[in-house]
Amino acid sequence: MLTEDGKHLYVSYDEYHNLIEKLAIKVFQSGWEFDTILCLARGGMRPGDILSRVFDKPLAIMSTSSYRSDAGTVQGHLDIARFITTPKGEIAGKVLLVDDLADSGHTLNAVIHQLKNNYAPITELRSAVIWTKALSTFTPDYSVEFLPTNPWIHQPFESYDAMRPAHLIQKWSV
C-alpha cells in the first residue's frame, strides 16, 4: 500500500510473493532461456530462491551490502563479494541477475560491471527486479513495478532488521 504522500510503500507477505510470481511470468513470457539465477544477497535472496524453484534452475549467490546503518535504512559504502557461491562449479552461460529493487542503480551497475570484467564464462546477462524507482540510473531487463515517487519500500520482513534474540525470547516466553 502506497501512502498518500507517495513517500512510503508498505508491502505484505502476500503482495511480496505475488510480485515475485509476476516477475517470473515476465521473464517466462520474454522467451529468454537462461542457465543460472544469480541473486544479490540480501535483497535478491527471496526472489532468487522462488525464481530458482519456478524455473528449476540452480541458484548462485553474490553478497552485496550498502544498507547497514539505522536498521538497514541508510545507504553507505557498497561492498561486493569477491566470490560467487554456486552449486555447479563456476558460474557460466546465460545468467539472470536478481535483486529486489533498482533503487539508486548503484549496486546493479557496479555488480554488472564486475561480472562483465571478471567472469568471462558468462555469455549473456540479464537483470530482474521487483521494483524500479524513477531515480535509478539502472534500467533492469525485467521489472514488475515502476515507482515514480521513489518511496521507501517497507518489505514484510524488515522488522527482523532491528530484532535481536532477546526480543524473540521475550516474544515466545509464556
What is the average pLDDT value for the chain, to the nearest integer? Answer: 92
Structural domain spans, the chain: 8-172
- 92: closest CA among 121, 118, 117? 121
How many beta carbons lie within 10 A of that of residue 172, not counting itself? 7
Residue 73 clears pLDDT 50, i.e. is over it: no
Residue 35 clears pLDDT 80, i.e. is over it: yes
Give the range among 18-22, 86-90, 144-148 with minimum mean pLDDT: 86-90
Residue 79, pLDDT score: 83
Please name the helix (run of DSSP H) or strand (run of DSSP E) that holds residue 30, with its range, or none: helix 13-30
Quick: pLDDT tens for 130-142: 999 999 999 999 9
Write out the CATH class of domain 8-172: alpha beta
Quick: pLDDT tens for 19-28: 999 999 999 9
Residue 60: C-alpha distances to residues 3, 72, 80 (Å): 35, 23, 14
Q: CA-CA distance, 138 to 133, in Å (whole number)?
A: 9
| C-alpha cell recorded at residue 132 | 524500479
Question: Grid cell 543460472 — which residue?
Answer: 36
